[in-house]
Amino acid sequence: MSKLGNLGARLHRGEISYDFVGKRKIWYGVSILITITAILGLAVRGLNMSIDFQGGAVFTTPTGMSTSVAQAETYAHDASGREAVVQKLGNGSLRIQVAGIDTGKADQIKTKLADDLKINPEKLAADLVGPSWGQEIANKAWEGLAIFMVLVVIYLAIAFEWRMAVAALVALIHDITITTGIYALVGFQVSPGTVIGLLTILGYSLYDTVVVFDSLKEQTKDITKQTRFTYSDIANQSINGTLVRSVNTTVVALLPVAGLLFIGGGFLGAGDLNDISLSLFVGLAAGAYSSIFIATPLVADLKEREPAMKALRKRVLAKRAQAAAEEDLAADRAAGADDDSEDTPAVVGPRNQPASRTRGRGRSSGKRR
């Protein structure tokens, strides 16, 4: 944990960084591929809507049933001629859902099911569900989603700027498309709980995005007054500075949701938990991904199109080129000086004596005369 804390501190101070913005074309390609897969899943397989949206009947057996879920599905299919959804409840009873049937058909299915399950028809509870309630929930959900997106765009445009609002909206659509596409591919039922979970993730999806945008806004107040960084450079710094925080908050949020999905829905067989937990799990993961790899790089792309940012980028690149040329020139001079010192031969031979020592030699002194 201390190493992770040190890593976060170094990322925040800018001592180390990963070039998220510089490699944005890779992330765009990955997101487009995932989105196309999700759309194909929706187009080919479609969403498995629950009886709350289609209407149908729900049959509940007495407690302590020894019949397996697979066998009950076979009985329900033979009795109704339709695919049935069977869930084993905690008290040992079975909940059998058959969509798209009316009252007369429900009575026939109930009789046939009771006979196959070897129970008294009076002990097999049957409830009819009309599609109007689920359809009303779906309509209200779409209305809520549209209002939410409009309010988000207005708020971000006022608090930050319109480019950030556009990027956040693209990230939201990206997250919703992936979540619904995975529902189609996995085949989980779409129930009112799914709709609630889908609406819930929208706030989580924006959380990390707004944190990065706030840091980016703070660091780019006087960006045109300097020539060290381009807008993309500062955007990349903002992502790296909040990276560990985003990862930590996402992991903490995913852990309880994973417990609901894999333990509650998987091991314990509480199928209703799958409806909401899968949308939460996928939405949280997609939201963390889009805030780092989609929203902020897209803001940098849009911002770099401005004339002021283009001029800043030109000045920054020119200054970097000049600095690189000066460094190369200094390195060449240093290398040349080293080469000259190595090529100059050492002088070997007799030393010349100073003039003062040789002066007067070869003359006879006056005393000898």
Q: Residue-wise pLDDT tens for the chain (369 aa)?
A: 555 556 656 665 656 778 889 899 999 999 999 999 999 988 988 888 877 777 788 888 888 777 888 888 888 888 888 878 787 776 678 888 888 777 678 888 888 888 888 888 888 888 877 767 667 777 877 788 888 888 888 988 898 889 999 999 999 899 889 988 988 888 877 877 788 788 788 777 788 888 889 888 888 888 888 888 999 999 998 888 888 888 888 888 888 888 877 776 555 555 566 777 888 888 888 888 998 899 999 999 999 999 999 999 999 999 988 888 888 888 878 877 666 555 555 444 454 555 444 444 444 444 444
Q: Which residues pair with 127 in a beta bridge?
A: 58
Longest dimension (CA), the chain: 161
pLDDT at 5: 55
- Residue 123 phi, psi (nearest 5): -90, -5
- Residue 151 phi, psi (nearest 5): -65, -40
pLDDT at 28: 93
C-alpha dihedral (186, 187, 189, 195), degrees to nearest 10: 50
Q: CA 277 to CA 197: how far, in whole Å?
A: 7
pLDDT at 167: 92
Fold type of domain 56-129: Alpha-Beta Plaits (3.30.70)
pTM metric for this prediction: 0.73
pLDDT at 192: 77
Considering the chain, tell me which residue range(s) the CATH 3.30.70.3400 domain(s) occupy: 56-129
Is the Cβ–Cβ distance between 175 and 286 less than 8 Å? yes
Q: What is the DSSP code string of 250-261?
A: HHHHHHHHHIII
Stretch (H or E) spanning 235:
helix 231-241
Q: CA 206 to CA 144: how far, in whole Å?
A: 16
Is the Cβ–Cβ distance between 98 and 82 less than 8 Å? yes
Considering the chain, tell me which residue range(s) the CATH 1.20.1640.10 domain(s) occupy: 2-49+133-315
- Picking from 262, 273, 251, the residue whose alpha carbon sits closest to that of residue 197 is 273
The class that CATH gives domain 2-49+133-315 is: mainly alpha
Q: CA 255 to CA 137: how far, in whole Å?
A: 29
Q: Which residues pair with 204 in a beta bridge?
A: none
pLDDT at 131: 67
